[in-house]
Amino acid sequence: MTRSQQGTLSERVTDALSDRDLTVVSNRQPYAHDYDDGEISVSRPAGGLTAGLDPVMQRTEGTWIAWGDGDADFEVADEDGRVRVPPDDPSYTLSRVRLSEEDVEGYYYGYSNRALWPICHGMIGTARCDGRDFERYRAVNRRFADAVVEQIDEGLVWFQDYHFGLAPRMVRESAEDAVLAQFWHIPWPTWDTFRICPPAEAIVSSLLANDLLVFHTREYVHNFLECVAEAVPEATVDRVSGTVRHRGNATTVVAFPLGVDAARIGELAERDAWPDLEARHELEDRTIALGVDRLDYTKGIPERIYALERFFEDHPDQRGELTYVQKGTGSREEIAAYQHLQERVDRAIDRVNGRFETDDWQPIVRVEEHLPKEELYALYRHSDLALVTPLRDGMNLVAKEFVAAQLDRRGVLLLSEFAGAHEELGDDAVTINPYDTQGSPTPSIGRSRSPRRSDASA
């Protein structure tokens, strides 16, 4: 009997979870321990993935395997890198994998973020595919796979994202009966694009060792199934049910768009914890347009600023009336493309401010400080416009957070047609093409790539 004949996927997942034997594998860890003035302090990395999965783990009491990137991480862990978390009320085990500088350079900055990231976002000109990086990526995937195999019996393993393109096959080879699932949080491109990523076939084939493979949108599911047909010709692809049969395994490929906790965001936004920004007086009585981004070249930030420049040129009456707030968080700063982006953004903002500012008005206000959630959501709530304009984005939760934080207000979401969130929110947003910095917004009607879902998260 092959594995695909041993009960339905949901029966096997339910069985696995009833034993509370869930193992999550991600690159980022949910809690980091660092030295702070000689004392050890705990922090929670920014990012929706870890924040979203932590409550799940607290309920299932399983194990979370992740890179221990804090400088005091292994001080507080046992000899196997294990520590109980959350620190103030432990309910599950965080199992830290120690990576050397060379590992981080080749696996994280290298293959994950200089090759896979730009390729999956369709920015092939930015991709750097170095065979040594791929070898590190493979070696680190092996380390994570070994860590998984060491501690699972027949439970459910849930891989997160593109950092683990090879680990599922490695785990499957040692743990035939494990239930494996993976959420690929970034876009999946067409085969013409993905195939430039050597060796693309190995990644596609490894992902088929999962029982369940999840993307944010139906477009990415469609692209993945087409890639399977090209890269793994011996696999059988059923495009209607989204099932792929390969090497005695059946993989269900589905779109489950990630949502946000809209009720919680609404609650926090309602507290009106307006942040004490340096530029607070700039915003009073003005129309506020807001952009909240990790500083990534996929987010379309320079293009957005060129579009604003054009807007102030063409609409002099709006000078002094509308202020754009750019909340940016630094990211992957060791990679040259991210350093260039930072310079481009700074130059563009300085140019627009230099051209249009007056004694009592600054067109673009930067917010660089970390804002606690309730202050961030108050900023969302009091903004009249959110500019969510990525050139390509797996989902983009800022769009959903903005909608959830508006409460009784009727702010407008300008949303790129190239964000995964557009599949759900496109009908209610003003659709824009982020490359078209001089264009008018496109009427949304009929523009979303798929029918509106009634269960959109926000």
Task: Identify the helix (H) or strand (E) that includes residue 272.
Answer: none
Number of neighbouring beta carbons within 10 Å of residue 84:
14
Please, which residue, 163 or 172, has the CB nearer to ligand F6P?
Answer: 163
**What angle is formed at CA 280 by the lines to CA 276 and CA 283, rounded to 5 degrees?**
140
Q: What are the C-alpha distances in Å from 229 to residues 89, 204, 238?
A: 47, 10, 10
Nearest Cα neighbor of 123 from 300, 294, 291, 274 is: 300
Question: Taking the complex as a whole, how short is the minimal distance between the CB of residue 189 and ligand F6P, in angstroms?
Answer: 15
Question: How far apart are alpha carbons 152 and 145 in whole angstroms?
Answer: 11
Please give the residue whose beta carbon sits closest to ligand F6P in the complex. 47
Nearest Cα neighbor of 200 from 238, 165, 158, 247 is: 165
Question: Taking the complex as a whole, how short is the minimal distance between the CB of residue 397 and ligand F6P, in angstroms?
Answer: 9
Please, which residue, 52 or 275, has the CB nearer to ligand F6P?
Answer: 52
Number of neighbouring beta carbons within 10 Å of residue 39:
8
Please, which residue, 186 or 376, has the CB nearer to ligand F6P?
Answer: 186
> Backbone phi, then psi, for 184, in 5-degree steps?
-95, 105
Nearest Cα neighbor of 249 from 347, 179, 193, 153 is: 179
Please, which residue, 134 or 312, has the CB nearer to ligand F6P?
Answer: 134
Question: Taking the complex as a whole, how short is the minimal distance between the CB of residue 253 and ligand F6P, in angstroms?
Answer: 19
Please, which residue, 12 or 121, has the CB nearer to ligand F6P?
Answer: 121
Please, which residue, 48 or 320, has the CB nearer to ligand F6P?
Answer: 48
Please, which residue, 155 or 390, has the CB nearer to ligand F6P?
Answer: 390
Question: Taking the complex as a whole, how short is the minimal distance between the CB of residue 328 and ligand F6P, in angstroms?
Answer: 13
Question: Taking the complex as a whole, how short is the minimal distance between the CB of residue 458 and ligand F6P, in angstroms?
Answer: 18
Half-sphere exposure at residue 423, Cβ-oriented, CA atoms within 13 angstroms? 23
Please, which residue, 185 or 366, has the CB nearer to ligand F6P?
Answer: 185
DSSP 32-85: EEEEETTEEEEE--SSHHHHHHHHHHHHH--EEEEE--STTHHHHS-TTSEEEE
Q: Report the chain's C-alpha Rg in angstroms.
A: 23
Q: 168, 142 in Cβ contact below 8 A?
A: no
Question: Taking the complex as a whole, how short is the minimal distance between the CB of residue 94 and ligand F6P, in angstroms?
Answer: 16
Nearest Cα neighbor of 253 from 244, 261, 262 is: 244
Residues forming contacts to ligand F6P in the complex (CB under 6 A) are 27-28, 47-49, 161, 185-186, 294, 331-332, 394
Question: Taking the complex as a whole, how short is the minimal distance between the CB of residue 160 and ligand F6P, in angstroms?
Answer: 7
Question: Taking the complex as a whole, how short is the minimal distance between the CB of residue 394 and ligand F6P, in angstroms?
Answer: 5
